[in-house]
Amino acid sequence: MVGGLGETGDQFHMHRLVKDTGENASIDATVTNAVFIAPMACEIIDISMENGSTIAAASANHWTITIVNQTGDASLISDDFDTDSDNTGNGGRSFTADTITSLNDNGAGNNYLQNAILAKGDLIRITATKAASATAIVYPMIVVRYRI
């Protein structure tokens, strides 16, 4: 492990998730961002998000995060991350303020990562979809861990 973040040789890419216009401190509506372009053929090991606010799981007011290889037209997670308390699997989760949360590994022995082998130039896109009056995502940072 290198600093507790990954295996020796793992690479990291960080990208701030931003609104299309205006102030970028928080996301308060559905947004789609390109977050990673594969610098060469690689394997995605984990995609995580750090959020400056706590967002509890809730049935009506929640977020759904989808991760897609836009170039390969394939979902990178088999079960979208969401904070909908009515969902199971990779859903019904929450964000703790200033804590990195894996979007593909629910921490209970289930890793929903799929289609993780990328070709050079593949573009990864994340969509955060807001339902009802979900708490805003504050200073969201996406961390992509990959291995060449």
In-domain check, residue 33: yes
Q: Could you please report the per-residue DSSP string of 76-126? A: SBSS-EE-BTT--TT-S--B-TTEEEESSB-SSS-B-B-S-EE-TT-EEEE
In-domain check, residue 15: no
Scored b (16 or more CB within 10 A) or e, 22-51 reads: eeeeebbeebebebbebeeebebbbbbbbb
In-domain check, residue 16: no
In-domain check, residue 90: yes
In-domain check, residue 81: yes
pTM comes to: 0.89
pLDDT of residue 9: 77
- Provide the residue range defining the domain that includes 101: 22-40+50-138
**Number of domains into which the chain is organized:** 1
pLDDT of residue 25: 78
In-domain check, residue 68: yes
pLDDT of residue 3: 38
pLDDT of residue 8: 65
- Report, as ranges of residue numbers, the positions in the chain whose pLDDT lies below 50: 1-4
